[in-house]
Structure 1
Amino acid sequence: MPDEPLAEHRPGKPWSTIMEIPTNTHEPLLLNHVDGVSVDLERCIRGRLRESYPVGARDVEVRIGVTGDLNVLTATLNAAVAAVSHTDPLCKKIVFCIDKDENRHGAHRFDEVLEAAQRAGFRFVVDVDSLDAELSVLVHEPAWVTKVDIDLDRVPGT
């Protein structure tokens, strides 16, 4: 169900959680890392991608506050993927968007942020326009989603 909250998971150190009052467009969970990195988790079907990307009911967007260290970005994405996968094992896509406007990346170029996300297992899918930005959409999918049965002479699942 798209209205299922992600707030049940308490990841523990080095993370802390902050509960927010849920709205129609925002999940009630922020994660904060002890290094000062904030992570906002939001169901895509309720967020900024709902009208510009074919979102699934359980897809989750991960938004990360600007960090000066690309290795911290990669580690934070890895930790967010682990937290979402643990909290919602039926989530098919964990989404991370990169703004095409390089002025919103802090000191990093678009290609550097893309490479950091790719090191965390994300892959580029499509560029989309949201209400306030042009975004490159990257996804991380669990192995059970990307597993392909290439035996064309057999009905899958038999």
Structure 2
Amino acid sequence: MISVPPIPALGAIPGWGILRADHRTYALDLRVTRGERAGALSLERCAAGRMRDVYPVARHDIEVRTGRMGAGALVCLLMAVRSALADADPRCLRLLYAVPADDLGRLAAAESAAFRRVVDVDLGGEEHCLTVWEPASVTRRDQGLHLIPEG
């Protein structure tokens, strides 16, 4: 098993208030607010949680879980979490967000927040679409990799 660093504490999430935080070694559960609406947000190191057995994860990867909320709020929250985690843990280069397979609205919201669908997985007996966000520095690739030098 790889060594897993503790989950970082978030000082702030841009555009969101934090009502309550339960900080454990590898996970952080938050109650967040935006205006008069409140929602649940959980962050967990993938290598210490349920993702370690369903997807190839690195030690700094983080799974994002949210409670039910409108599509617009979900897009804003996912984008704000990306920003907050970039500041709190610059070594985190992958965020995973699992969407129940039949929740097309939540999947569209994740995609609007720049998460891309990568694979369907079974989590706790239910099929989920696993979406991933990675910074451009990770997804950028050399356009000449397909060229094989002759010689």
Which amino acid in 2 is paired with 1:16?
I
TM-score when normalising by structure 2: 0.82
- Work out the CA distance in 1 between the residues paired with 2:93 and 2:124: 25
Deviation at residue 75 of structure 1 after TM alignment: 0.8
Is this contact kept in 2: 1:19–1:29, CA < 8 A?
yes
Which amino acid in 2 is paired with 1:33?
T
Deviation at residue 29 of structure 1 after TM alignment: 4.3
Which amino acid in 2 is paired with 1:83?
A
Partner of residue 149, structure 1: 142
**1:47 aligns with one of 46, 49, 55:** 49
Aligned-partner SS, 2:44 = strand
Could you list the per-position Cα deviations for residues 100-124 of structure 1 after superposition, in whole angstroms to 9, with x for gaps in the alignment?
2x4xxxxxxx222111111100100
Deviation at residue 20 of structure 1 after TM alignment: 2.2
Segments ≥4 residues shifted beyond 3 Å: none
Partner of residue 82, structure 2: 81
**1:63 aligns with one of 65, 86, 92:** 65
Query: How do 1:9-158 residues align onto structure 2 when only pairs under 5 Å count?
Result: 9-11=10-12, 14-16=16-18, 18-20=20-22, 22=24, 26-34=26-34, 35-67=37-69, 69-100=70-101, 102=102, 110-152=103-145
Between the two proteins, the alignment pairs up a number of residues equal to 141
Q: Percent identity?
A: 32
| Uncovered stretches (5+) of structure 1, i.e. residues with no partner | 103-109, 154-158
- Work out the CA distance in 2 between the residues paired with 1:84 and 1:18: 18
Aligned-partner SS, 1:36 = strand
Which amino acid in 1 is paired with 2:119?
V
Which amino acid in 2 is paired with 1:95?
L
- Work out the CA distance in 2 between the residues paired with 1:21 and 1:89: 19
Is this contact kept in 2: 1:59–1:94, CA < 8 A?
yes
- Work out the CA distance in 2 between the residues paired with 1:93 and 1:74: 17
